[in-house]
Structure 1
Amino acid sequence: MKKTIQIILLLLLLNLSRSLSISSHGTLSDSEVRHIQRRQLLEFAERSQNVIVDPSLVFENPRLRNAYIALQAWKQAIFSDPFNFTANWIGSNVCNYTGVFCSPALDNRRIPTVAGINLNHADIAGYLPEELEERSAEKKKRKNKETKSETKEEKRAEKDEKILPEEKNTTSVALPCIDKLRDELSCAICLEICYEPSTTTCGHRLYTTTKPLTAQTTIGPLALFHVNSNWFCGTVPHRFNRLKLLFELDLSNNRFAGKFPAVVLRLPSLKCLDLRFNAFEGTVPKELFSKDLDAIFINHNRFRFELPDNFGDSPVSVIVLANNRFHGCIPSSKVEMKNLNEIIFTNNGLSSCLPADIGRLKNVTVFDVSFNELVGALPESVGEMVSVEQLNVAHNKLSGKIPTSIC
């Protein structure tokens, strides 16, 4: 009997030690990461039952109430927050939460809603729950009540504001001061290249469906979701596809794993995708290069595939594929990338020759294909890349003379 008690106590101590090791510091071991990945699909169902809204809390509108529930569910999926970024995620004023930014709703400027998330460099350990939104059961209970409430708000707003112009099945609207959000967020490098100026109040336009956004849709009409330089792991939630207005998704420098997160292909407004420095693996869908993106950063992962023929269809200005295991030939379609400014292929397994008409890339300033297996000679047309500032073809199997046109 005494021996049995000792064994039980030992097991309890081991479990306690394991729990403390996860929660006491941001740096997770590989075994802890695997444990979290296994639990990711299970734990939200258990934890979300504890997201109970205090009846005494007063919310400015149903959308902020919905955001409150989503953020509380996310907070429960965090195992370590050494700098207490989420310490003030308490109460109904979600717009004052650290890392949470609000803006007027696109369909009703009188209603504030969550428009941006920025937890960059927070050193947080945890995962993204499958639902960064309110549970279906909760939504159904209040659906009629919230719809009536929002209808009243919208009717009042229509008296003071113009109806947004319609064009067939879409509405062209200004983003909710995306420029202001970008300034406040001290944004990542991709923010400097993701947009071109326009004539709108905030400098950018996007197209959305004419159907009004509702509190039942998502955490909010997020334009920005930045969580770079943390210890988030697991996979990217499938329900991210409900973030229809998301312009920038930055998951870089974390411990996300698994196959390429195909959910990003279903984000219609996405312009900047940053998955750098994670542990994604397998192939990259060719649909990525047909998507209307301005920046693709997927370097420093474990992707292994051959560049598809439609690679040159991508309208990006910057694409970084370095430090993966891409192989095969460089598609000749690459020379059709009229918007391209920077392309970095370094440290992959690319073979064959450089396209003979590579000089058609007139706007490229950075061209780096170093540490590959390229063969043959440098094309004479390289000298026609009139904008190039950095040309790196080192550590390949190139031969012949350097074209005089380069000098």
Structure 2
Amino acid sequence: MQPMFAMLCYLDMSTWDIMTKASKLFSQMPNRDIVSWTTMVISHLQAGKIEKARSVFEGMPEKDVAVWTAMIRELLQEGDIKEARRLFNDMPYRDIVSWNSMIGGCIQNNMFGDALELFMLMPERDIVSWNSILQGYIQQDGIIRAQEFFEKMPLMDETSWNIMLSGNQKEEALVIYSKMIGNGFQPDQGTFGSVISACGALAMLGFGRALHLSVIKTGFEHDKVVMSSLITMYSKCGSVNDAVLVFERTGKQDTVTWNAMIAAKAYHGSAAEAFDLYSSMLKAGLAPDHVTFLGLLTACAHGGLIDKAWECFTSMGQDWQLHPKPAHCACMVDLLGRSGLVNEAVDFIEHRHIDIPMHTWEALLSACRIHGNFKLGETVAKEILRVQPENGSAYLLLSKISLQEKCGRMQQVLGN
């Protein structure tokens, strides 16, 4: 009966009816071994029923390391660090998987100090252990401490190098990539994504072309994520024709590659072509996502297309059930400000209670100065200085607004 029970539990964990039958069968079993108990716990976890899983777990007469680790992992995913650590401490035996699970969970929940403490207590470590702590250093202490730790690592793999690439800025990423290749490690999707993006940010077209050749040689020319990175890189380097060629040679495009091409056209101010691509994407049967609309709104901002921007912004929710994110709202604010509709821009912010980036506030302040809206400019400047009291740009723009206002009043007096 036990093999039949295990098969029933794993038939379809999304169907509650299956779990109900499995639970009934489990309760009727005259003899339950550790496999059937463990199967029941893991089945409840996979079905998202953590309390039921915990109830079965606590009733187990005997537990192996696998079921302990499964419970700990689920608790960590739920953010219940305290209970996960309690179970971890109660384990009669811990293998390297359970140690790594606990360390990874601490890092994911911004408890790097606890993760480092556990790492130091580990009786043995594998590459996952070292990479987890390396990732923790990148997240918590920045690249310098991570670099020091990386250089001392006795074990490293492609993931180790990719972690370092993800934490480095632009020029440093290219240096790390060269060292990675020089040490005999093979680049993968993550490697190419990071280093190609760095090339785009630095507008290093020559290096980017060399990376493109490496992509082809290593067999990643059909990887949609890598191809999208190349499209973006060529676009940022000013070679839109190359971006188009990559897009056309990708084969069956997905949403990611379409988004990259739409963003490329938007980046270069080709709003009409960006919307033509969007229409073709829809005809191909692909649904837009948040990135798609960010590209379209960027195209509208560069082209001053206010009505088209409102149409896109409204379509996100009405047609595609996509809730606008701060980046989309920032595009709308930027467009309204550039168009001289500064009052509408501020109303837009206040109506939606959104948290827009500081550079968008600064752009709005600049728009207030350009369009002579001195009163609103003072309000915007005060908002910037409330968050960033040391913002020199805000003080400079505020002084210019004040000077413009005084000059304007003086001209009125002289005119009268």
**TM-score, with normalisation over the residues of structure 1?**
0.29
Select the structure with the greater relative contact order (CA < 8 A; seq sep ≥ 6). Answer: 1
- Please state which structure has a larger fraction of its residues in helix: 2
- Please state which structure has a larger fraction of its residues in strand: 1
